[in-house]
Structure 1
Amino acid sequence: MSLRTMARRAVASGTLGAVAAGSPTASGIGLAALLDGGNAFDAALAAALAETVVMPSKCGLAGDLVALYVTADHEEPVSVIALGSAPAGLYAAAAARGWQVPATGPLSVGVPGAPAGYARLGALGRMTRERLASPAVALARRGFPWSRLNVLLTRESLPTLTRYQPGGGRCFPAAGPLAEGEAVRMPGLAGVLERFVRDGPDLFAGGLGRRLADYVQEHGGVLDLDDLGAAEVIEERAHSVESERGRIWATNGPSYGIALTRTFDREHRIDRGAPTSPDAVTQALAVLARGGLHPAPAAEGTSTVSAADADGNAVVIVHSNSFPQYGSGLVLPGDDLVLANRAGRGFTFEPGHPNAPRPGRRPLTTLHAWALKDAAQSWVLGATPGGARQVPWNVQVIDRLTHPDLLDGPARLGDAVTAPKWEISERGVLREGAEIPPLGARSAHTLVRLGADLVSAAADPRWDTTAVAS
Structure 2
Amino acid sequence: MTVMRPALTGTLGGVAATHWLASTVGMGILERGGNAFDAAVAAGFALQIVEPHSNGPGGDVVIAVYSRSTGAVRIICGQGPMPQAATIDAFAALGIKQMPAGGLLPATVPGAFGAWMRLLGEFGTMPLESVLEPAIGYASRGYPLLPAAASTIGAMAGLFRTEWTESGRTYLPGGAVPAAGSRMRNEVLADTYRRLIREARGKSADREAQIEAAHHAFYQGFVAETIDRFARTTEVFDSTGRRHRGLLTGDDLASWRPGVEAACELPYGEFTVHKPGPWSQGPVFLQQLALLQGCDLRAMGLGSGEYVHTVAEAAKLAFADREAWYGDPEHTPVPMDELLAAEYSAERRSLIGEQANLDPRPGRPGGAEPWIPVAEPEEPGADEPEWMTHLRSGLPTVTPAGPRAGAGNTCTVAVADAWGNLVVAVPSGGWLKSAPVIPELGFALGTRGQTAWLTEGHPNSLAPGRRPRTTLSPTIVLRDGAPFLAFGTPGGDQQDQWTLHAFLAVAEFGYEPQAAAELPAWHIDHFAQSFAPRISRPGVVVVERSFDPAVLAVLEKKGHRLDVVPESTLGKVCSAGVDPATGFLRAAAGPRGRQAYAVCR
Name the TM-score, length of structure 2 as normaliser. 0.71
Identical counterparts, % of pairs: 28
Counterpart of 1:180 in structure 2 is 180
How is 1:434-445 mapped onto 2 (pairs within 5 angstroms)? 435-441=564-570, 443-445=571-573
* Residue aligning to 1:418: 518
- Larger Cα Rg: Structure 1 or Structure 2? 2
429-438 or 456-465, larger mean C-alpha shift: 429-438
Preserved contact between residue 11 and residue 584 of structure 2 (Cα < 8 Å): yes
Contact 2:420-2:483 at 8 Å conserved across structures: no
Following superposition of structure 1 onto structure 2, how do residues 64-463 of structure 1 map, counting pairs within 5 Å?
64-91=60-87, 92-96=89-93, 97-123=95-121, 124-158=123-157, 164-166=163-165, 168-173=168-173, 175-197=175-197, 198=200, 199-202=213-216, 203-217=218-232, 218-219=234-235, 220=244, 221-243=246-268, 246-265=271-290, 277-290=311-324, 297=403, 300-321=408-429, 325-326=431-432, 328-344=434-450, 346-373=451-478, 379-404=484-509, 406-407=510-511, 412-425=512-525, 426-427=536-537, 428-433=540-545, 435-441=564-570, 443-451=571-579, 452-463=582-593
Are the counterparts in 2 of residues 444 and 461 from structure 1 also a CA contact under 8 Å?
yes
Shift of 1:191: 1.7
What is the deviation of 1:268? Answer: 9.2
Unaligned runs of 5+ in 1: none
Contact residue 145 and residue 183 of structure 1 kept, 8 A = yes
Match of 1:45 in 2: 41
Q: Whole-Å Cα distance in 2 between the matches of residues 415 and 421 of structure 1?
A: 12
Q: 2:496 is aligned with what amino acid? A: V
Match of 1:337, SS state, is coil
Which shifted more, 220-229 or 38-47? 220-229
Quote the Cα distance in structure 2 between the aligned partners of 1:303 and 1:127: 23
Q: 5+ unaligned residues in a row in structure 2: which ranges?
A: 201-212, 236-243, 297-305, 327-372, 376-393, 396-402, 526-535, 547-563
Matched length? 457
Quote the offset at 1:238 in angstroms: 1.1
Offset at 1:174? 7.1
Superposition deviation, residue 286 in structure 1: 1.9
CA distance in structure 2 between the partners assigned to 1:16 and 1:215 by the alignment = 45
Amino acid at match of 1:82: G
Aligned-pair CA distance for 1:331: 1.4
How far residue 158 of structure 1 moved from its aligned partner, in angstroms, is: 4.8
Compute the displacement of 1:51 (Å). 0.8
Counterparts in 2 of 1:293 and 1:145: CA distance versus 1, 3 Å: farther
CA distance 1:395–1:40, change in 2 (3 Å): same
Opposite residue 578 of structure 2, the aligned amino acid is L
Cα distance in 2, alignment partners of residues 376 and 4 from structure 1: 32
Q: What is the TM-score with the length of structure 1 in the denominator?
A: 0.89
Distance apart, 1:133 and its partner CA: 0.4
8 Å Cα contact 1:83/1:232 also seen in 2: no
